[in-house]
């Protein structure tokens, strides 16, 4: 799955991380890949700031993918982080194609790719089964999402839209208006919540940081859509199984 947006600041990485976390906690094996060569944030948001290798080193064959993937102790996710300032962010089409073959062969139930913002796409769209376009409830953002959706459609890539940072203000577009402008289905509507920013600062996905927020209900519904499409039966881990996270919450009262 390609999680994408036309510009930064819309919450693309937050959506990718929390969707991945929700799927992982249902018992699925999930890999999240940071493919943003401009401003990779997956590792930063997950407390993995000081990585020496990342996605593009794997893509250029400088390190085996299994050695670069990092198990995240809190969520159980496997993370292939990006690396800020990497000199290896340039690659060939052949390297991209081989990269996707490599990570698919690892056998994960879900692979979520957090891409860099922008209309143009730097990688092989044939490698994805779906694009998830994150937009804001404003005309300019939705029209940009429309351009991205149209480009993907030409490449026969199925897309859905996530409307993020909804505050319920009169000047915001309604979900119906967003669908009309993007010419696409809004698969999830995620409310604005200050605790999302707090969770990023704490390097813990909001999905675990505070399960009572409305944002998480929407993420759960989004995960329901994807789990309903796969013929996999997993038993979600119990609270006891997440010992590190239990300690994290106790330590903060």
Q: What is the 3-state secondary structure (H, E, C) of 123-158?
A: CCHHHCCCEEEEECCCHHHHHHHHHHHHHHHHCCCC
pLDDT the model gives residue 49: 81
Alpha helices in the chain (DSSP H): 12-24, 42-45, 55-59, 65-68, 93-104, 139-154, 175-182, 194-202, 206-209, 214-227, 243-251
Q: Give the three-class secondary structure for 239.
A: helix
Nearest to 88 by CA among 69, 63, 114, 113: 63
Q: State mean pLDDT over 189-201.
A: 96
User: Within a domain: residue 236?
Assistant: no
Each residue's pLDDT tens digit, 5-19: 998 999 999 999 999
In a domain, 30, yes or no: yes
Greatest Cα pair distance, the chain, in angstroms, is 51
Task: Report pLDDT for 86.
Answer: 52
Residue 246 has pLDDT above 80, yes or no: no
pLDDT at 61 over 50: yes
Q: Which domain holds residue 91?
A: 2-231
pLDDT, position 87 = 56
Which residues have CB under 8 Å from 174's CB, separation 6+?
137
Lowest mean pLDDT among 86-95, 115-124, 156-165: 86-95
Burial of 185 (0-12, 13-18, 19+ CB in 10 A): exposed
Beta-bridge mates of residue 161 = 133, 186
Tell me whether residue 17 is in a domain: yes
Q: What are phi and psi of 164, to 5 degrees?
A: -115, 160
* ∠ CA 192-194-200, rounded to 5°: 105
Residue 76 has pLDDT above 80, yes or no: yes
pLDDT exceeds 60 at position 249: no
pLDDT tens digits for range 154-169: 989 999 999 999 999 9
Q: What is the band of 245 on the pLDDT scale with cuts at 50, 70, 90?
A: very low
Q: How many residues does the chain have?
A: 253
Q: What is the mean pLDDT of residues 198-212?
A: 94
Q: For residue 218, tell me if it sits in a domain.
A: yes
Report the percentage of the chain scoring pLDDT > 90.
75
Question: 126 pLDDT band (50/70/90 cuts)?
Answer: confident
Task: Round the average pLDDT of the chain to a whole number and report it.
Answer: 88
- Looking at the domain assignment, is residue 248 inside a domain? no
Query: What pLDDT, on a 0 to 100 scale, did the predictor assign at position 31?
Result: 98
| Confidence label for 121 from pLDDT (cuts 50, 70 and 90) | low
Distance (Å, rounded) from C-alpha 71 to C-alpha 75?
Answer: 9
Instruction: Label the pairing between strands 110-115 and 131-135.
Output: unpaired
Q: How many domains does the chain have?
A: 1
> Do the domain assignments include residue 175?
yes
In the predicted structure, residue 251 carries a pLDDT above the cut 50? no
Looking up tokens 């730097």 gives 122
Q: In what side-by-side order are the strands of the sheet with 186-191?
A: 70-71, 78-80, 30-35, 110-115, 2-4, 131-135, 159-166, 186-191
Q: Is residue 50 part of a domain?
A: yes
In this prediction, residue 244 carries a pLDDT of 35
Q: Is the pLDDT of residue 141 over 60?
A: yes
Give the SS3 label for residue 209.
helix
User: Positive or negative CA dihedral for 36, 127, 151, 130?
Assistant: negative
Given this model, what pLDDT does residue 238 score?
A: 44
CATH number of the domain within which 52 lies: 3.40.50.300
In a domain, 243, yes or no: no
């Amino acid at each position: 799955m390609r999680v994408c947006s036309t510009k930064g600041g819309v919450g693309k990485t937050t959506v990718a991380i929390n969707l991945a976390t929700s799927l992982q906690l249902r018992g699925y094996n999930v890999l999240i890949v940071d493919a943003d060569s401009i401003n990779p944030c997956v590792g930063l948001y997950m407390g993995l700031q000081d990585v020496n290798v990342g996605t593009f080193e794997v893509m250029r064959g400088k390190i085996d993918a299994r050695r670069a993937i990092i198990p995240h102790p809190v969520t159980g996710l496997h993370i292939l982080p990006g690396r800020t300032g990497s000199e290896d962010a340039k690659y060939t089409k052949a390297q991209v194609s081989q990269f996707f073959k490599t990570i698919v062969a690892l056998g994960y139930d879900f692979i979520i790719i957090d891409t860099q913002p922008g209309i143009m796409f730097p990688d092989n769209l044939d490698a994805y089964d779906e694009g998830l376009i994150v937009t804001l409830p404003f005309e300019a953002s939705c029209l940009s999402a429309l351009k991205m959706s149209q480009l993907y459609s030409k490449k026969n890539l199925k897309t859905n839209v996530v409307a993020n940072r909804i505050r319920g203000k009169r000047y915001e577009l309604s979900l119906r208006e967003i669908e009309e402008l993007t010419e696409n289905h809004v698969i999830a509507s995620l409310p604005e919540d200050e605790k999302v920013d707090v969770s990023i600062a704490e390097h813990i996905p909001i999905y675990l940081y505070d399960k009572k927020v409305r944002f998480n209900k929407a993420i759960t519904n989004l995960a329901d859509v994807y789990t309903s499409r796969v013929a996999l039966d997993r038993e979600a881990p119990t609270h006891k199984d997440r010992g590190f996270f239990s300690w994290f919450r106790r330590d903060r009262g």
